[in-house]
Amino acid sequence: MTNRAIDYDADPWAEARAMLDMPGGMLNIAYEAVDRHVMHGHGDETAMLWLGKGGDRQELSYADMARQSSRFANVLAAHGLASGDSVFALLGRVPELYIAALGTLKAGMVFTPLFSAFGPDPIRTRMEIGAAKVLVTTPDLYKRKIAAWRDEIGTLKLVLVIGVIDEDADEGCVALGPVMATASPDFDTAPTRPEDPALIHFTSGTTGRPKGAVHVHEAVLYHAFSGQCALDLTPETTYWCTADPGWVTGTSYGIIAPLVQRVKMIVDEAEFDLERWYSTIEREKIEVWYSAPTAIRMMMRSGADVAKPYDFSSLRFLASVGEPLNPEAVVWSENVFGQSFHDNWWQTETGGIMIANLPGMTVKPGSMGKPMPGIEAGIVEREGNTLKELGTGEIGELALRPGWPSMMRAYLNEQARYDKCFVDGWYLSGDLATRDEDGYFWFVGRADDLIKTSGHLVGPFEVESVLIEHPAVAEAGVIGLPDETAGEIVKAYVTLNPGFTADVALERALRGHARKRLGPAVSPRVVVFRENLPKTRSGKIMRRLLKARELGLPEGDISTLETDEK
């Protein structure tokens, strides 16, 4: 099955709107994601195939998901919680996480998933900002990360834990299993309005202190639309989104869009493991796969040979998000999977895919694609309180005309920070990009990461992509450092592929390679080798941290930094 041609001109979301069917002008994400399918006779179809770390499998049908989420909603109601209350989850990718998300939404409450690998501080700050009333977690995570300060969160009323409670250590926790078992599997979905808050998602914290973006039920319209249009999700598609729901991708396209489109969704509890991933695609016959550059670069690092024994013929569409997708990665995927990864661009704030290489579109390796139907994107420059639109080939800030359904409605408790995003009728993304003569958008870098060297503007992505073309380089992070004569000089941090030695000769070779491709002004003056680059939990290189460390400046907010601690 392929993407159908749809006329998006009149109302780009008309088809999605027509598909959703909650009566009386009400709209509820969970109802649209699961109950609607049961109502229409699809209850027996598989909603989720869960693959446990240890090899166990669990299949949940749409009817199972509907019943379980209703039980969860009843548990919340039985504890006196009400519409608008804030429910947090601190869980790995276990079925209960997905059920809690849907149950919370069904109950008309607001859901916030956190990465289970977060340390106590980032968890606490987010729960404070979000005025958490309920936390769903495991006894182990509770003991290690929550117990010490639980009583200091004044809003917190209920801690539900999955697994066996230790009466002494888990005082005040309620075991979820038994209360779910006795709760009714029927629940009348809360009659939420399209503008009622549904989810709070914290941004990745790549550029600074994370923001809590508030999303509403109306977002489901855009998830339904973009899931089909940009990811080619159609009923019964076997689909795998590798992102954790702690990152917006893992919710918008790891829960909502796929379920609304009635796909068979694969959820893998385990972290990245090359051979596990390849065999999952082969064994489960994955058709649509949504992943991220950091994972793709890890695959590349292991070489194409590891992939050879596997049968990838089930794959029909590959997409990537989260960071710029290096052209090298697109070419590599064509060789290994027989098709390109389709890059797409969006943010926690936008709630859904904004710029994309749509199915069937010619992929220009290194480009993020074109604006989605119904989305107006521009390249702009500030002029006081107004914006000037720039022309083809000019570098400016990537801006969007607000008005699509999944756009954030607020940064929680940060009105001023939110207001600053909107200027002259545009939403400013904070990213720099250019548009070519065919209307394709090319990512240049975060506005904060742009390097000015000897009168040239250098986007780190361009330099990183050139370094990655060298056979020795697995990953690269590029920053600008202050320099008296040049203003800034370009410095590169690289990790190496197996079989290469970090020595002076290689350093020289890499600088030479970059100079040849980029010219002396733009190419890195210094190349250093690292075992790893600092990354966020969502897999983004934290260039600001490389720079702060280099300059001996404060590290700033590193609450989302990935560490070995689990």
Binding site for ligand ATP (CB under 6 A): 203-208, 210, 321-324, 343-345, 347-348, 368, 429, 431, 443, 446, 538, 540
- Burial annotation 397-413 (CB, 10 A radius, 16+ → b, else e): bbbbeeebbbbbebbbe
Angle CA 365–368–371, to nearest 5: 135
Residue 429 CB, nearest distance to ligand ATP (Å)? 6
Reported as type and span, the H/E element at residue 544 is helix 543-551
Region for residue 465 given its phi and psi (left: phi exceeds 0; alpha: psi -120 to 50; beta: otherwise): alpha
Residue 542 CB, nearest distance to Mg ion (Å)? 12
Residues 516, 441: Cα–Cα separation, whole Å: 25
Q: Which does 205 bind (CB under 5 to 8 A by kind): ligand ATP, Mg ion, none?
A: ligand ATP
Q: Which does 80 bind (CB under 5 to 8 A by kind): ligand ATP, Mg ion, none?
A: none
Q: Which does 342 bind (CB under 5 to 8 A by kind): ligand ATP, Mg ion, none?
A: none
Q: Which does 464 bind (CB under 5 to 8 A by kind): ligand ATP, Mg ion, none?
A: none
Binding string, 467-506, against Mg ion, x = CB under 5 A?
----------------------------------------
Binding string, 173-212, against Mg ion, x = CB under 5 A?
------------------------------x---------
CA-to-CA dists, residue 521 to 451, 456, 475, 496, 511, angstroms:
11, 7, 22, 24, 12
Instruction: Please identify, using beta-carbon distances, which residue of 206 and 234 lies nearer to ligand ATP.
Output: 206
Which tokens is 123 given? Answer: 């968890």
Q: Are 559 and 205 in contact (CB under 8 A)?
A: yes
Instruction: Please identify, using beta-carbon distances, which residue of 15 and 557 lies nearer to ligand ATP.
Output: 557
> Helix, strand or coil for residue 489?
strand
DSSP character at residue 35: I
Torsion of CA 6, 10, 12, 17, to 10 degrees: -100
Q: Which does 72 bind (CB under 5 to 8 A by kind): Mg ion, ligand ATP, none?
A: none
CA-to-CA dists, residue 548 to 203, 298, 481, 534, 542, angstroms:
20, 26, 10, 12, 10
Instruction: Please identify, using beta-carbon distances, which residue of 477 and 524 lies nearer to Mg ion.
Output: 477
Residue 493 CB, nearest distance to ligand ATP (Å)? 18
Residue 316 CB, nearest distance to ligand ATP (Å)? 20
* Cβ neighbour number for residue 476 with a 10 Å cutoff: 27
Q: What is the DSSP string of 196-215?
A: SEEEEEE---SSSS--EEEE
Q: Which does 343 bind (CB under 5 to 8 A by kind): Mg ion, ligand ATP, none?
A: ligand ATP
107: Cα separation from own chain's centroid: 25
Reported as type and span, the H/E element at residue 19 is helix 14-19
Residue 205 CB, nearest distance to Mg ion (Å)? 9
Q: Which does 406 bind (CB under 5 to 8 A by kind): ligand ATP, Mg ion, none?
A: none
Residue 277 CB, nearest distance to ligand ATP (Å)? 20
Q: Which does 493 bind (CB under 5 to 8 A by kind): Mg ion, ligand ATP, none?
A: none
Residue 523 CB, nearest distance to ligand ATP (Å)? 21
Residue 383 CB, nearest distance to Mg ion (Å)? 23
Which residue ranges make up the site for Mg ion (CB under 5 A)?
203
